[in-house]
């Protein structure tokens, strides 16, 4: 059975075609910098590895280009769309309506759209991917896999806000958690690698969107994204943690309307607001050139991560390993170094030589005498989505 996995992020589309249940990867790819004139499409099979630069205006354009490649007479891997049995979609926010993988219906799409207000950079793109896939693969089953599912184990002390109880009970205002498929995937890999009967792990997902999870014995017990994927770490265009009174100051004292405030905090803040760049590769390159704004932004980014490591170590009363994953976590040796420096009190000691090595495999980058393991584990949200989609229909 062929399952096409579509992971429509805030500025990218990851895709994989996977044969299940063998978990054989047929092809994979990534569309990056969507909305920019130099958008990049990487596409790889066992016979073809190509990189193309296009002007890809939006996620709709990007998904159609992906399908064109799948059907391409020379580069493609399928002859017609009926060879795809299931299209599995990553959906960021499922609220309290979805705790498990589900087949997509009209009602499900309406709910995903309803939760777009809570994940404005993601759910609209997730829904767009579903609609385009329904048109392009009319005979395939469409399945939604929700980021929020992994965080159903959060205890009330971690998921409740200190606001009136009726807002929690009647309106579902609570911590939901995000990047759940990634945190779940790397957690299982880490536990298997560590070979511990009990474990205390902090998973650190760093991309354009960022999050951290405290995982005890394989179950999430705290997470730094909340009701929406807006708080916590400094992200590509999102501010992360911020004093909520700033919102009222912007409105009441500076005269901004709420739409503008929302746009500032979700699309004009974070690393972009600090530097003018949202892509960490650009920021690191500018920092090397001496750009002081970029230097400070990188330090701030790492400092925020360090604070959460301290908080989650306290919450679990111990720490066996920290795990770096996702685009930045896997590839930025600079961020990993800045996070791990001066953390020996927590048993975190970085081996700079190991940290600077490039690899697509799970690896340790701690010193041999370190009490706490530092792992870099490439995430594979797409495989996790394929496994869950296959399980749903079988």
Residue 289 confidence class, pLDDT cut points 50, 70, 90:
very high
Strand partners, 46: none
The token pair that represents 4 in the structure block: 């096409």
Write down the pLDDT at residue 129: 85
Q: What share of the chain is helix, strand, coil (3-state, %, to 5)?
A: 40, 20, 35
Write down the pLDDT at residue 49: 86
Average of per-residue pLDDT across 8-12: 74
Query: Are β-strands 219-223 and 141-146 bridged in parallel, bridged antiparallel, or unpaired?
Result: unpaired
pLDDT at 256 over 80: yes
Convert the pLDDT of each residue in 290-337 to its tens digit: 999 999 999 999 999 999 999 999 999 999 999 999 999 999 999 999
Write down the pLDDT at residue 370: 96
The token pair that represents 375 in the structure block: 């792992």
Average of per-residue pLDDT across 260-268: 94
Of 384, 335, 377, 342, the C-alpha closest to 356 is: 335
Q: How far apart are CA 131 and CA 125, in angstroms?
A: 10
Q: Where in the chain does DSSP place strands (E)? A: 2-8, 13-19, 24-32, 39-45, 49-54, 86-91, 102-103, 141-146, 200-206, 210-216, 219-223, 321-325, 363-364, 373-376
Residue 59 confidence class, pLDDT cut points 50, 70, 90:
confident
pLDDT at 67 over 80: yes
> b/e per residue, 180-206, with b = 16+ CB within 10 A?
bbbbbbbbebbbebeeeeebbbbbbbb
Write down the pLDDT at residue 162: 96
pLDDT at 364 over 90: yes
Residue 14 confidence class, pLDDT cut points 50, 70, 90:
confident
Instruction: Establish whether 241 is a catalytic residue.
Output: no
Average of per-residue pLDDT across 335-361: 95
pLDDT at 139 over 80: yes
Residue 183 confidence class, pLDDT cut points 50, 70, 90:
very high
Strand partners, 52: 41
Q: Distance between terminal CA atoms of the chain? A: 11
pLDDT at 373 over 90: yes
Convert the pLDDT of each residue in 106-129 to its tens digit: 999 999 998 888 778 788 888 988
Average of per-residue pLDDT across 222-250: 94
pLDDT at 19 over 80: yes
Residue 12 confidence class, pLDDT cut points 50, 70, 90:
confident
Write down the pLDDT at residue 259: 94
Write down the pLDDT at residue 73: 87
Per the model's pLDDT, the better-predicted residue between 218 and 48 turns out to be 218
Residue 36 confidence class, pLDDT cut points 50, 70, 90:
confident
Write down the pLDDT at residue 316: 97
Q: Where are the alpha helices (DSSP H) in 72-122?
A: 106-114
pLDDT at 210 over 90: yes
Per the model's pLDDT, the better-predicted residue between 15 and 60 turns out to be 15
Active-site residue identified among 72, 82, 147, 344: 147
Query: Going from the N-terminus, what domains does the chain have, and what CATH number goes with each?
Result: 2-151 (3.30.420.40), 180-376 (3.30.420.40)
Q: How far apart are CA 224 and CA 229, in angstroms?
A: 9
Q: How far apart are CA 351 and CA 353, in angstroms?
A: 6
pTM of the model: 0.83
Sheet holding 13-19, edge to edge: 49-54, 39-45, 24-32, 13-19, 2-8, 86-91, 141-146, 102-103
Write down the pLDDT at residue 216: 97
* Alpha-carbon separation of residue 142 from 3, 108, 229 (angstroms): 10, 11, 24
Residue 378 confidence class, pLDDT cut points 50, 70, 90:
very high
Per the model's pLDDT, the better-predicted residue between 364 and 148 turns out to be 364
Q: How far apart are CA 40 and CA 30, in angstroms?
A: 8
């Amino acid at each position: 059975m062929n399952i096409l996995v579509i992971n429509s992020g805030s500025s990218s589309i990851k895709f994989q075609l996977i044969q299940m249940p063998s978990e054989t990867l047929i092809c994979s790819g990534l569309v990056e910098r969507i909305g920019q004139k130099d958008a990049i499409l990487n596409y790889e099979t066992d016979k073809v590895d190509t990189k193309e630069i296009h002007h890809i205006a939006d996620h709709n354009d990007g998904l159609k280009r992906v399908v064109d490649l799948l059907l391409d007479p020379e580069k493609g891997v399928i002859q017609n769309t009926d060879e795809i049995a299931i299209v599995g979609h990553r959906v960021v926010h499922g609220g309290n309506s979805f705790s498990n993988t589900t087949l997509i219906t009209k009602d499900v799409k309406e709910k995903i759209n309803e939760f777009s207000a809570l994940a404005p950079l993601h759910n609209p793109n997730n829904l767009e991917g579903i609609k385009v896939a329904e048109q392009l693969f009319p005979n395939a089953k469409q399945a939604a896999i929700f980021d929020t599912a992994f965080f159903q184990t959060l205890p009330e002390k971690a998921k409740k806000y200190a606001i009136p109880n009726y807002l929690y009970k009647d309106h579902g205002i609570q911590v939901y958690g995000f990047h759940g498929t990634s945190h779940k995937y790397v957690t299982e890999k880490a536990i298997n690698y560590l070979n511990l009967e009990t474990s205390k792990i902090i998973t650190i997902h760093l991309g354009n969107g960022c999050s951290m999870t405290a995982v005890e014995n394989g179950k999430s017990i705290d997470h730094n994204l909340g009701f929406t994927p807006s708080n916590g770490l400094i992200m590509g265009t999102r501010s992360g943690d911020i004093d909520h009174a700033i919102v009222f100051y912007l409105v009441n004292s500076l005269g901004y309307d709420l739409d503008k405030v929302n746009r500032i905090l979700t699309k004009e803040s974070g690393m972009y607001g600090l530097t003018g760049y949202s892509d960490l590769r650009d920021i690191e390159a500018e920092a090397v050139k001496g750009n002081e704004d970029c230097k400070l932004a990188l330090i701030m980014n790492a400092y925020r991560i360090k604070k959460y490591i301290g908080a989650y170590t306290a919450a679990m009363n111990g720490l066996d390993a920290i795990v770096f994953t996702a685009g930045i976590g896997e590839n930025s040796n600079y961020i990993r170094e800045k996070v791990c420096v001066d953390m020996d009190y927590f048993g975190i000691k970085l081996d700079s030589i190991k940290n600077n090595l490039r690899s697509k495999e799970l690896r340790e980058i701690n010193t041999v005498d370190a009490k706490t393991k530092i792992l870099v584990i490439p995430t594979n949200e797409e495989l996790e989505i394929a496994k869950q989609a296959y399980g749903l229909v079988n």
